[in-house]
């Protein structure tokens, strides 16, 4: 057989195998989307852009642990103190904190709120508010807080049944997202909040909360859907369920089904099932 004929046969073989390879890759993508709870594709430009971005992240991300954040030395309340005074102490400390660049231009600080000994603790990223309308009672944002209340009600929990807080305690003005310096400065606050509340489960909402608590760099779409653990110095490990943030769900309603599955898993864990 001539070299020319051999090359032609190889090309025909690759052409015949191409549909099978494409089918296998498509099957992987469909199974991945089913794991997220996606059964329908609305085909909006925003969704196409989002899926393209997440696929690129999944391909380039390298799973593994990341270095724990640097924790500035701060006085710690005594472990035996009740949760209420400890949380109030943390709120005052955060209000006077100047460990990161956010302190100079922040709209204010947003302490955690809710039941001080709740079995479920919800951790978001930071409070997003407009200049001139700041309120320390707005945890995630006005619309995001309203959606969170509905999400918790869906698994039978009222605002007083949960404790809600953020990774970043400052409410920055609209603009760039808080960077790693801000996260490192705030980690001690969050760790001590967890030690004070002693929740049985933490719902980590959004990429920032999931990565900060789990110390992992995988995209949220890979972290969500299964219980993991947060280990802190002052107590036993706490179960963590990563899921999507209300802010994200308001833009991508197609992800609500996957989040509902995560919330059901939290409900089962709290019920001891």
CATH no. for residue 97? 3.40.470.10
* 203 part of a folded domain: yes
pLDDT of amino acid 236: 80
* 135 part of a folded domain: yes
pLDDT of amino acid 33: 60
| Contact call for residues 202 and 230 (beta carbons, < 8 A) | yes
Q: How many domains does the chain have?
A: 1
* 144 part of a folded domain: yes
| Domain range enclosing 147 | 83-270
Using CA atoms, how far residue 266 sits from 82, 121, 122, in Å, is 26, 11, 11
* 19 part of a folded domain: no
Nearest to 125 by CA among 167, 169, 187: 167
Count of CB atoms within 10 A of residue 22's CB? 10
| Contact call for residues 160 and 115 (beta carbons, < 8 A) | yes
Using CA atoms, how far residue 261 sits from 18, 200, 221, 258, in Å, is 36, 19, 13, 5
* 173 part of a folded domain: yes
* 94 part of a folded domain: yes
In whole angstroms, what separates CA 223 from the centre of its chain?
9
* 170 part of a folded domain: yes
* 76 part of a folded domain: no
Alpha carbons within 13 angstroms on the beta-carbon side of residue 193 total: 30
Tens of pLDDT along the chain (273 residues) come to 565 566 666 677 666 777 777 767 776 666 666 556 565 655 656 656 655 655 555 554 444 444 444 444 444 444 556 889 999 999 999 999 999 999 999 999 999 999 999 999 999 999 999 989 999 999 999 999 999 999 999 999 999 999 999 999 999 999 888 998 999 999 999 999 999 999 999 999 999 999 999 998 899 999 999 999 998 765 688 999 999 999 999 999 999 999 999 999 999 999 987
pLDDT of amino acid 233: 67
């Amino acid at each position: 057989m001539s070299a020319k004929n051999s090359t032609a046969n190889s090309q025909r073989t690759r052409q015949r195998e191409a549909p099978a390879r494409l089918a296998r890759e498509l099957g992987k993508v469909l199974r991945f989307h089913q794991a997220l709870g996606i059964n329908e594709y609305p085909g909006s430009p925003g969704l196409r852009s989002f899926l393209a971005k997440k696929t690129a992240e999944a391909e380039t991300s390298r799973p593994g642990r990341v270095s724990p954040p640097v924790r500035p030395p701060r006085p710690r309340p005594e472990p035996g103190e009740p949760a209420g005074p400890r949380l109030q102490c943390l709120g005052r400390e955060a209000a006077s904190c100047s460990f990161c660049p956010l302190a100079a231009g922040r709209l204010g600080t947003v302490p955690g709120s809710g039941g001080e000994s709740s079995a479920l603790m919800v951790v978001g990223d930071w409070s997003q508010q407009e200049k001139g309308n700041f309120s320390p009672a707005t945890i995630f944002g006005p619309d995001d807080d309203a959606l969170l209340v509905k999400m918790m009600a869906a698994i039978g929990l009222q605002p007083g049944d949960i404790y809600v807080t953020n990774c970043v305690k400052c409410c920055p003005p609209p603009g760039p997202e808080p960077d790693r310096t801000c996260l490192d400065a705030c980690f001690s606050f969050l760790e001590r909040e967890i030690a004070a509340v002693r929740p049985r489960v933490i719902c980590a909402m959004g990429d920032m909360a999931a990565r900060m608590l789990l110390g992992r760099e995988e995209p949220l779409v890979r972290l969500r859907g299964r219980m993991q653990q947060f280990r802190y110095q002052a107590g036993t490990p706490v179960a963590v369920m990563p899921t999507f943030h209300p802010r994200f769900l308001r833009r991508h309603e197609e992800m609500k089904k996957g989040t509902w599955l995560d919330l059901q898993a939290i409900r089962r864990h709290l019920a001891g099932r």
